[in-house]
Amino acid sequence: MQLADVARKNGLLALEGQEISNDFLKQGIGLCVDGHDPALVKKLLSSDINLTIQRHEVGQTMFKNMGVMAPAMGMIGTLVGLVQMLANMSDPASIGPAMAVALLTTLYGAVIANAFAQPMADKLARASALEKTNKALILETIAGIQEGMNPRVLEQLLSTYLPANKRVKAE
């Protein structure tokens, strides 16, 4: 809101000396100060958002695949343990350790999938969604500043990114 107020009162060039901690916002404001067309600014920043999301999806996919494959690997370990057990049926002392391998590999597969891989994939997806929303809000802010939008109107526009129960507190 402060940046929009400065730009409205003193023009876009007045934003050049402003301290901006968010790199994405700094990049967008830099493009505005340099006098680039709003369509180009939107295209560049949208491309940045889309490529960031694509990079995030690589990590999510890796953990999702791990979550899918871990139980299967556990079942393979179970089969190996059962083969060991059945191969040594004449020696009762070897049945216990072979059965332990069979059961533990199933447990490990389930634990890796359900306690590690899937929660990690979900956490990465949530973080990616939050970053996408944050960058979309910044993109909207930059477009509003470039258009010379009234800071109060811009504030109302940006408040739509908040849940309805938090908007009243922000206003």
Mean pLDDT, all residues of the chain:
92
Is the pLDDT reported for residue 170 higher than 70? no
Q: Please choose, from the candidates 58, 26, 28, the residue with its C-alpha nearest in 3D space to the C-alpha of residue 45.
A: 28
What mean pLDDT comes out for the span 132-142?
96
End-to-end CA distance of the chain: 12
Residue 171 has pLDDT above 50, yes or no: no
Give percent of the chain with pLDDT exceeding 90: 67
C-alpha closest to that of 116 among 64, 58, 56, 55: 64
